[in-house]
Structure 1
Amino acid sequence: MTLHDVARAAGVSLATASRVLGGSARKVAAEYERKVLAAAAELNYTPDLSARAMRGRTDTVALVADDLTTPSIALVVAAMERQARTVGAFVSVAQTRGVPERQFATVRTLCAFRPRALVLTSTRVEGTARNLRLVEELRAYQRNGGRVVIYGSVDLPFDSVRFDDRASARKVGEHLGATGHRRVLILSGTPDRAFAAERVTGFTEGLTAHGVTPRDIGTAECEVSRQGGYGAVFDALAAGRLDGVDAIVAVNDVVAIGALSACRDAGIDVPGRLSVTGFDDVPLASDVTPRLATLALPHAAGGARAVEMALSDAVGRDPFHEVVVGEFRARESCAPR
C-alpha cells in the first residue's frame, strides 16, 4: 500500500495524508487526521523510510555501542528509547565490540541511512590517529546536518554526556579509607578500557587521601566480566596477594559480583574478613548477598539526556559537555575495619 492509496481511502489530498503520516509540523484539521489514521490502519500502511531518507532524514537515533550485553547498557538503551518516543523518534542499535575497524564501518553504514542523530557509547573510542577515520566520518556526518552525541567517558569534539570516572572513583577510595581499610586490592580491568584506568587512579587518590600508603594498594588486571572478577580472586589467593587485604575494589559491578562469588566459594567471609565494592550500581547490585556497596552512576538519566541533546537544535554552537559525578552507596558488602 502506498500513500496515494491511503489518501484515496480517506478522501483527502495526497499532501494532507503526507502531513499526517510524515510527521510534518504543519497541522491538519482533527477530522481529516482521524480519517487518514483510520485509513492507514485499515490498509496496514507503513511509511517508506528509505524514500524519506532520500528526501531528508529519518526520525531514527542510531546508538553505536561496544557491548549490548552489559547491565548498564540495558538501562541506557531503555531510557533512550523512552526519551526518543516522546518526540516521535525511535532508537536503532548496533554493536561493535569496541573494534576500531568495526566502529568506522558501522558509523559509515548508519550514516548512509541518514539517521537524525548518532549516539556513541564506547570505552574504546579516542581522538587518536588510530581512530582518525572515525572522527572524520562523524565530523562529515555532522557537517551534512546530522547530530553526534558521545555518551560515557570518551573525550571527543562533539556534544557529550560524560561520567567523571576519576572523581567518582575517588569517592569509593575515600569511603574505604575513612572506614579503616588499610590494605586494598583493585581489580582493574584491562588496559584497553579508558574508563578503567581513570577509575583505578580515582580509587588510589581517595585511599591515599585517607591514610592508605601506596605500597599497600595492589592492582590485578582481569577481564571486565563476572568470570574475570571470579578468576582474579582465585589467582590472587593462589599467589598470596590476599594475605592481609581488607578490601577488594572492582572496576565495575559485574567484576565485583564475580569477586563476591569467588569469595563465597573460597570460604572468605564478606564483609567479616574483607569488604568488596563495585562501580555503576546496576540493578543486580542490590539483589546479591551480601548487597553490593557501589558507586552509583545515573545511567538511565544520562541515556535520556544524550537523546535529548541529540534531538535538540544545536546549529552553529560549540560542543557542549555535560559532566556527571556519581554517589557512593554503602551496603552490606562493605563494613568498617
Structure 2
Amino acid sequence: MIGEGADARDGIRTALRSPVSLITAKDVAREAGVHPSTVSRSLDPEQMARVKTETRLRVQEAAGRLGYRPDLTASSLRRQRTMTIGVLIPSFGNPIYGDLIHGINAELEPHGYQGLMIETPDGSDRLSPALETLRGRRVDGIICATSRSEDRQVLRDLVDSGMPVVLTLRWLAGLAIARVVNDDRLGGFLAGQHLVSLGHRRMLEIPGSEDIETFADRSRGFRDGLAAAALTPIRHGERTTTPDVSEGRRVMANLLASGVMDGVTAVFAQNDLLGIGAIEALRSAGLQCPEDVSVMGFNDSPLVDHLDPALSTIAMPMVEMGMRAGREILRAVNGQDTEHDVVTVRPTLVPRASTSAPAQAARPAAPAD
C-alpha cells in the first residue's frame, strides 16, 4: 500500500512538473520542422500573413497536438502593447449593445485583441473614472459608445493624451475623433414617412435625452419626414433623462394627463425601450395600440417582434457598426491617421403591428347630401 501511495504521488509530481505551459516554441518548431521564429509568426495574428499557408497550417497543427499556447504577456511586453481595447457602453441592460459588442469582438479577435467592456450608465458621472481605469490597464485604444454633450472636454483630453479613440453609435460634433455611426437623421425621416404614408396627420415624439446628438438627429429626420407632407409634430415640453422603459411610460402618462394627446393618432419614440414604455402607459389609460394610437420605435432591439403588438421600428446594422468600429480602432492603434474618418451605416424601416392607419382615416366617408 505504501509503495502504491508513493507511485501515485510520484505520478502527480510528474504531472505537475509537465504542464502544458512548459511546451515551448522550440518544441513546436522541432515537431513542425521549422525555425522557432516561424512558429512565432505562424501563431501571431498580426504576422501570420507573412508565412506560407502550408507552413502556417503545419505549425498550427503541431502546436495543437503539443498543447502549446503562446506567452501573451511576453509578446505584449515585446510589442509594448497589452492587446486589449477598452469598450465603453451606456447599459448592459439594453439588448442592442450585445450586437455591437459581437461585431467589435469579431473584428478584434482575429488580430489577437480582446475587448475590455465597461458600463457607464446615462445620467451618471462614471465616464471619467472608467477612462482612468482603462488607462490604468494600459489598453491600446478605446471604443466609446456613450458620449454625451458634457463629455466633450473629457474626450478631447483623452485624444490629446495620445490614446487612440473611436466613437460609435453616439458622436459629438466638433471633435476630431474617428466615428462609426448610424444615419440617425435618415432613420427619423423613414419613421416620419412611414406614419405619414399610413394616413396619420397629428403626431408627436417621445424624445431621447437632449444632450445626446443621436436623438437630436432622429428628431430632425422625423420633422423632415413630416415636412415633406406639409406637417409638423405636435409640440410639448416633456423630455426624457434616460432612454429606457420607465421613462417612456412616465412621459406618455404625463402627455395623456396634460391633454396633449387629444387627437394624436401616432407617436414616434426615439428608441424601442421608450416605445415599449409608451405602449404600457397607453394600455394603463385604457387605450389600445395601434387601434387608438400607433407607436413607432427605433433600434429594432432583440425580441421587439415578439411583443403584443410587435413593434414597428427602424433597424440599425449593429453588428456591422461594431465590426467597422473595431476596424477603425485597429487602424488608429497601428498609427494610421483616423481622426477625420466618418463611417456612416444606413438604417432600414421595419413596419410591424404597432403601426396602422388611424381609425378615423379608416372609416368610410359619409354619404353626400
TM-score range, shorter chain: 0.7 to 0.9
2:178 to 159, 178, 190: 159
For 1:64, give the aligned amino acid.
L
* Distance verdict in 2 for CA 1:90–1:220, change over 3 Å: same
1:184 to 203, 224, 237: 203
Give the TM-score of the pair, scaled to structure 1: 0.83
- Give yes or no for contact 2:266–2:295 (8 Å, CA) kept in 1: yes
Q: How far apart in 2 are the matches of 1:89 and 1:255? A: 35
* Distance verdict in 2 for CA 1:100–1:219, change over 3 Å: closer
Whether 1:323 and 2:360 are equivalent positions in the alignment is no
* Distance verdict in 2 for CA 1:77–1:316, change over 3 Å: closer
1:237 to 248, 251, 256: 256
The residue that corresponds to 1:310 in the other structure is: 329
For 2:97, give the aligned amino acid.
I
**Identical-residue share of aligned pairs (%):** 25
Q: How far apart in 1 are the matches of 2:187 and 2:29? A: 60
Alignment of 1:111-190 (within 5 A): 111-124=135-148, 126=149, 131-142=152-163, 147-155=164-172, 156-190=175-209
Instruction: Give ranges in structure 2 of 5+ residues lacking alignment.
Output: 1-18, 359-369
For 1:306, give the aligned amino acid.
A
* Distance verdict in 2 for CA 1:267–1:24, change over 3 Å: closer
The residue that corresponds to 1:76 in the other structure is: 100
The residue that corresponds to 1:220 in the other structure is: 238
Instruction: Give ranges in structure 1 of 5+ residues lacking alignment.
Output: none
109-118 or 26-35, larger mean C-alpha shift:
26-35
- Give yes or no for contact 2:316–2:348 (8 Å, CA) kept in 1: yes
2:354 to 328, 333, 336: 333
Deviation per residue, 1:189-230 (Å, 9 max, x gap):
33333322222232223223213245x344532341111112
Q: CA deviation at 1:328?
A: 1.8
- Kindly tell me the number of residue pairs found equivalent between the two proteins: 326
For 1:220, give the aligned amino acid.
E
Q: CA RMSD in A?
A: 3.0
Report the 3-state secondary structure (helix = DSSP H, G, I; strand = E; otherwise coil) of the residue aligned with 2:282: helix
Report the 3-state secondary structure (helix = DSSP H, G, I; strand = E; otherwise coil) of the residue aligned with 2:104: helix
The residue that corresponds to 1:56 in the other structure is: 80
* Distance verdict in 2 for CA 1:112–1:47, change over 3 Å: farther
The residue that corresponds to 1:197 in the other structure is: 216
Q: How far apart in 1 are the matches of 2:299 and 2:103? A: 16
For 1:233, give the aligned amino acid.
M
Q: How far apart in 2 are the matches of 1:114 and 1:89? A: 13
Q: CA deviation at 1:107?
A: 2.5
* Distance verdict in 2 for CA 1:57–1:74, change over 3 Å: same
